[in-house]
Amino acid sequence: MDKTGDTHWGSFAEGAKQFLNDVVFQYVPKLIVACIVLFVGWKLIKLLNKVMKRAYDRHKVDPSLQEFLHSLIDIVLKVLLVVTAMGIMGIQMTSFIAILGAAGVAIGMGLQGTLQNFAGGVIILLLKPFKVGDYVEQGPYAGFVESIQIFNTTLRTYDARKIIVPNTELATKSLVNHFNLPQRRVAIDVGLAYGMSVEKAKEVMVRVAAENPLVLHEPKAPYATLENFEDSSLHMRLYAWTLPENYWATLYSLNEGIYNAFCEEGLEIPFNQMDVHIRDNAS
């Protein structure tokens, strides 16, 4: 019995020694080195991103391209870092690749939209339908472009909301860029009562626009027209040019200025009204 017990104890001790040798003394040091590589590599990637950012600013690289390159380089370097750490730990990359290959169809279907968004980002950078700082509108999305990354574009609305739009939406569908040209035209519609002087109304509207500091006189000076005849009013319209970033301020200030000027000049702006007649049928 003693010899049998000694035999079992010897086998256990030998197994424990083999476990320590195979796992603890061989795998744990590799794991520690891999963790150190991950930690140091992560810090170096952050440092490299800061250096690249300064280089972009020094060479005046387009902000749209800056964001795209930053996100692309960051993802690629982090993937390479993880693969390197796996290699240090002794994980056979051939086996890992074989597993990915076996699941290739499922992964491809899952990444189909992601790859389309990446292609959309490349198209945006090549064709440049918009850039960082532009105000764009596409379907339900509208806002200032804050960043163009490899998979999506970030928009900021006037009321300070952030919209993240997939690049394929902006690259393959109709899009309105309100900042694409150096000037933008403002159109003000005003109703004028029948019997009022059209020439006087046009003169007042043009004068209000000419006195507005936000209105430009290039590519064309402000002018007013009689557009058409409505049921209860004459449809007047003022055209004026301004900078794209001043569009809304110009629109609102012209509306207010024209209304006040019409009141001062005695020009009537008609409004819908209803006359109610009460009949007494009592005999």
- Sole residue written with tokens 């440092």: 47
Q: Could you report the per-residue pLDDT of 223-246, keeping only the tens digit for each? A: 999 999 988 889 999 999 999 989
Q: CA separation (Å) from 215 to 178, 180, 210, 250?
A: 17, 18, 7, 7
- CATH code 2.30.30.60 region(s) in the chain: 119-177
pLDDT of residue 16: 59
Question: Residue 7 pLDDT more than 60?
Answer: no
Q: Show the tokens assigned to 147.
A: 């960043």
The CATH code belonging to domain 119-177 is: 2.30.30.60
Q: Could you report the per-residue pLDDT of 96-126, keeping only the tens digit for each? A: 566 556 555 554 555 566 778 888 888 888 8
Q: Could you report the per-residue pLDDT of 125-154, keeping only the tens digit for each? A: 888 888 888 899 988 889 999 988 888 899
Q: What is the mean pLDDT of the chain?
A: 80
The CATH code belonging to domain 184-265 is: 3.30.70.100
- CATH code 3.30.70.100 region(s) in the chain: 184-265
Give the burial string for 127-165 (b: 16+ CB within 10 Å, else e).
eebbbbebbbebeebebbbbbbbbbbbbbeeeeeeeeeb
Residue bearing the bigger pLDDT, 45 or 202: 202
Spell out the residues 6+ positions from residue 66 whose beta carbon is closer than 8 angstroms to its own.
Answer: 53, 56
Paired residues of 241 in beta bridges: 185, 216
Q: Hey, what CATH topology would domain 17-102 get?
A: Helix Hairpins (1.10.287)
Q: Could you report the per-residue pLDDT of 9-48, keeping only the tens digit for each? A: 556 566 556 655 655 566 777 778 878 888 888 888 888 8
Question: Residue 1 pLDDT more than 50?
Answer: no
- CATH code 1.10.287 region(s) in the chain: 17-102
Residue bearing the bigger pLDDT, 193 or 150: 193
Question: Position 163: which residue type?
Answer: I
